[in-house]
Amino acid sequence: MMNTVVMRAEKDNLESIAAAASKLLLAGELVAIPTETVYGLAANAYDGEAVKNIFKVKGRPQDNPLIVHISDYIMLNDVATGVSDAALRLAKEFWPGPLTLVLKKTEAVSEVVTCGMDTVAVRMPSNPVAAAIIKAAGVPLAAPSANLSGRPSPTTAQHCVDDLSGKVPLIVDGGHCDVGVESTVLSMVGEHPVLLRPGIISIEEIRKIAPDAQVSHAVVEELKEGEAALSPGMKYKHYSPKADVVMVEGSLEAFAEYVGARAANGVFAMCFDGEEESIGVPSISYGAKGNGESQAKRLFSVLRAVDAIGAERVYVRAPEDDGVSLAVFNRLIRAAGFKVVKL
């Protein structure tokens, strides 16, 4: 077990933090870094052996591709080829920011990153700490979420410590992530743009730039047998606490009646702000009803909190399945292993 150092990044020490992180990354080590979405477990995207270590440390399945993070458009040309005008319009609108574009890869990107596929998922984070580290390293960074595979994604440095202490040499503490759920992933390699994973940038916003954008069935459904995962977060049970999660669709009254009838030791509920006293079991809010942004920011912290309080089963009030809330719905249905009760 290695010694894990946690370094707090501030404006006045950002250059030295970036230098320390980049030195490790260029030496083939892994570093947990903050982004505006969630914390990422970063490796040099050109170093196949370092990228293999991401899968090992996380316990991540070998057919679940990684996102490559860049700091400028020169790096985009280094990792992707045949970038369409539509893709460039989307990049110019939403980069730096939480949009990932799936594009045709160049030979420079390790096939370990893409799990042998000829496409690569790319984004340019807006978080200043992530941007500084990528720039200092001078190479694109492959970085899935900095957690153990299947667990709720980390939105604080402490979440990274909880999962990765002793497994990585450095965790860079950039505070709480602004967004709270992973980036929107949009495939740009087919006839139409296709939303593979929803995020804070909604399909409605994307269609203002790309009106023909479609939504993959896998956003709210399990992949069909033999269907390849073209994006992280598509194929496996994800984002889940140790507790058994069940998502429940219906009114507050129906939810309270359903959950109350199943009250027992270890049974908890996740609901919306102001509803905690209406449910007959211990309850915790994960955001305001109808406010996808607030739900997204608190979701993973609450999923981790239910483990801390000893929950064995958690019934979750389902959010809307449109706008930003679609991203929260997508994470919850996977945390529940697609167990949904419709009242």
pLDDT of residue 256: 97
For residues 211 and 255, state if they share a domain. Answer: no
User: Whole-angstrom Cα distance, residue 328 to residue 175?
Assistant: 21
Among 173, 202, 219, which residue terminates a domain?
219
pLDDT digits (tens, 9 = 90+) for 206-241: 999 999 999 998 898 876 665 565 556 555 556 789
| Token representation of residue 87 | 């893709």
pLDDT digits (tens, 9 = 90+) for 311-329: 999 999 999 998 999 999 9
pLDDT of residue 66: 96
Asked if the model's pLDDT at residue 332 lies above 90, the reply is: yes
Q: At what angle do helices 292-308 and 157-164 cross, to 10 degrees?
A: 40
Full-model pTM? 0.94
For residues 272 and 337, state if they share a domain. Answer: yes
For residues 108 and 253, state if they share a domain. Answer: no
Among 180, 203, 219, which residue terminates a domain?
219
Side by side, the strands of the sheet bearing 267-271 are: 283-285, 267-271, 313-317, 244-249, 340-342
For residues 43 and 169, state if they share a domain. Answer: yes
Asked if the model's pLDDT at residue 126 lies above 80, the reply is: yes
| Token representation of residue 321 | 């399945």
pLDDT of residue 240: 83
Place of tokens 């539509």: 86
Across residues 152-163, what is the average pLDDT?
97
Asked if the model's pLDDT at residue 47 lies above 60, the reply is: yes
Closest CA to 112 of 55, 59, 182, 70: 55
Asked if the model's pLDDT at residue 281 lies above 90, the reply is: yes
pLDDT digits (tens, 9 = 90+) for 55-107: 999 998 877 899 999 999 999 999 999 999 999 999 999 999 999 999 999 99
Among 163, 185, 219, which residue terminates a domain?
219
For residues 306 and 188, state if they share a domain. Answer: no
Burial 114-133 (b: 16+ CB within 10 A, else e): bbebebbbbbbbbbbbbbbb
For residues 129 and 92, state if they share a domain. Answer: yes
**Percent of the chain residues topping a pLDDT of 70:** 95
Domain hosting residue 89, numbered range: 5-219
pLDDT of residue 235: 53
